[in-house]
Structure 1
Amino acid sequence: MQGLVTVFGGSGFVGGQVVRALAKAGYRVRVAVRQPNLAYRMRMLGDVGQIEVVQANVRVPASIARALDGAEACVNLVGVLWESGRQKFQSIHAMGARNVAEAAAKAGVTRLVHVSAIGADINATAKYARSKGEGEAAVRAAFPGATIVRPSIVFGPEDDFFNRFAQMAALAPVMPLVGGETKFQPVFVGDVAAVIAKAVATPASVGVTYELGGPTVYTMREILELILTETGRNRPLLPVPWPLAGLIGSLGDLQASVLPLAPPLTTDQVEMLKSDNVADHGLPGLAEAGVAATAVEAVVPTYLYRYRKGGQYAETPAGAF
């Protein structure tokens, strides 16, 4: 069995696949999460004793140091899609990223993989993208050889994108369309995990920034049309003007501040929807990392069927994949 890899945020949607990929590659894996009691299933992703779960919070440097004790590599997956309580973009994406990178350098960790996002830019208007850009800059300053991975929207059976809109299609009489012509390049969670696992093991990835997108670029309109087809729902798409979307986002901000529930939309997400989320062809991607891109059409139908009338017993809708 190979050395120890600490994975911060390893119990999430992407984290579970990363932990599985690292375990399959023969590494010992330490999953560092804020609430270990909610991550018990992680130990089942590898052989007996191969995976351990520990408590750590990227806002608390002492807990990061404990989680890195004896590790030869680490992966930082910690991120939030909206702000709630003490989980702020600045404290998680910027300060948290800096804390992990500085602790990794101090602990003598040889490989650091930092997961960011396409659109990360210290000059971005959206707070999410701006904090991601600040996090990347802090990581590069503290750990110059870090590998940075920027995925587009990540899809898979437990995603919070296709599932959310499919659930909306099952319940709502119309589908609101915000940023209908904004482009996305969805990337399969298994492909992202494979790139991260390879980056841990491959010296050639030192200091490299990858932008990961799938084989096809879609507009938001095309994505919603695909979801409606796969779920067998006949719902009109209702374009939402930006000012109205901003108002809806403000209500989402208010919900996030008082309830521990995912808001339907936030003002920051509205701002992000004004820009395309497509991989930069000037940066290495899946192909350069040695991973074959998986198409949306090959995976999404395997889990959106549950939103059809009749669920798994429903007939495949006409036009579905």
Structure 2
Amino acid sequence: MTAGRTVVFGGTGFLGRAIVRAMAARGDAVRVAARRPDAADVPPGVELQRADIQDDDAVAAAVADADTVVNAVSLYVEGGGLDFDGIHVEGATRLARLAHRAGVERFIHVSGIGVTGQSPSRYVRARARGEMGVNDAFPGATILHPSVLFGPHDSFLATLDDVTRLPIVPLFGHGETRLQPVHVEDVAAAVAGAAHTAEATGRVFELGGGEVLRYREIVRAVLSHRRRWRPLLPVPWSAWRGIAHVGKILSNPPLTIDQVLLMQADNIVSAEMATFADLGIEPRGLRASLSACLPGQGTSDL
């Protein structure tokens, strides 16, 4: 099964760039639809087209001759005229509707593990409504639920690398939240695999990495990799929520209430869901990937 021409919305982001590379490596004709294509760094031969997921005409033009459309657009912090509903609900539904109207064969929508309309997080609830909109607008869409993404030049490990430089490392609660971090290139491979696999049509895949780790174990892994010794300090969830509420007065808050809420819930693959294995992919684990993601050993203080 060939994907032909693939249009990637969100192709300039961390995951989107990896998806573009994976699709191009399969020999597909790839177009990146972006609000600011001039700033995009894409492989040779990849087409760039200006398109805002909130603009009907621009979206319709971008998907007009596509065989596959991938929605990898993400918004984690509201601001600058963008909000969760506009991007994850209205934007995702618009893209699915116009792709279906254009006769696109395959629609792949990237969401996240734990998406539910009952979540206390506005971000997660918007993601859930967006999935409903996509399924209504494009019957047979493929939905991907990756866990926390990591990889070279990511924000997850880079933030932990910075935090573990502090004299005392604060934990979310007691650091017991279970995560299944997934390498960005493995998720990109899953997108490319779903685009080339007829059996992926209409299915939901949960994509977790090769190991399940508690948050404190991930912190300790980064400390060990950097050869640092730091005491870990449990910080109550109420304190984190207070910090997030105070941070709302900043234009670029370091922590949001939605991020705190997300860290209170385990983020791992459910036993009954389709996974990487159904796409023939064996995901790598976080600890074995640290050397590639955080090169250099840092300064020893053991």
TM-score range, shorter chain: over 0.9
**What is the RMSD computed on CA atoms of the aligned residues?**
1.6
For 2:221, the equivalent position in structure 1 comes to: 226
For 2:54, the equivalent position in structure 1 comes to: 59
Partner AA of 2:91 in structure 1: G
Partner AA of 1:76 in structure 2: N
**Aligned runs of 1:5-44 on 2, under 5 Å?**
5-39=6-40, 41-42=41-42
For 2:172, the equivalent position in structure 1 comes to: 178
**Aligned runs of 1:114-153 on 2, under 5 Å?**
114-153=109-148
For residues 139-181 of structure 1, the C-alpha deviation after alignment (integer angstroms, 9 at most, x for no partner) is 00001110000000011102110111102223x2221111411
* Percent of residue pairs identical: 39
Cα displacement (A) at 1:264: 2.4
Partner AA of 1:174 in structure 2: I
Partners of 1:197 and 1:58 in 2: CA distance: 21
Partners of 1:21 and 1:285 in 2: CA distance: 18
Cα displacement (A) at 1:303: 2.9
For 1:166, the equivalent position in structure 2 comes to: 161
Unaligned runs of 5+ in 2: none
SS of residue paired to 1:31: strand
Partner AA of 2:98 in structure 1: A
For residues 103-129 of structure 1, the C-alpha deviation after alignment (integer angstroms, 9 at most, x for no partner) is 101111000000000011112111111
Whether the 8 Å contact between 2:3 and 2:67 is mirrored in structure 1 is no
2:256 to 231, 245, 266: 266
What is the TM-score normalised by the length of structure 2?
A: 0.95
Partners of 2:190 and 2:86 in 1: CA distance: 26
After TM superposition, the structure 1 stretch with the greater mean CA deviation from structure 2, 230-239 or 126-135, is: 230-239
Partners of 2:249 and 2:85 in 1: CA distance: 19
For 1:290, the equivalent position in structure 2 comes to: 280
Unaligned runs of 5+ in 1: 310-314
For 2:289, the equivalent position in structure 1 comes to: 299
For 1:191, the equivalent position in structure 2 comes to: 186
1:157 to 147, 152, 165: 152
For residues 39-86 of structure 1, the C-alpha deviation after alignment (integer angstroms, 9 at most, x for no partner) is 0x21xx24xxx3111111111121111111211111000011221222
Whether the 8 Å contact between 1:166 and 1:307 is mirrored in structure 2 is no
For 1:312, the equivalent position in structure 2 comes to: none
Runs ≥4 residues deviating over 6 A? none
Whether the 8 Å contact between 1:252 and 1:267 is mirrored in structure 2 is no
After TM superposition, the structure 1 stretch with the greater mean CA deviation from structure 2, 299-308 or 125-134, is: 299-308
Partner AA of 1:176 in structure 2: P
Task: Give the number of aligned pairs.
Answer: 300
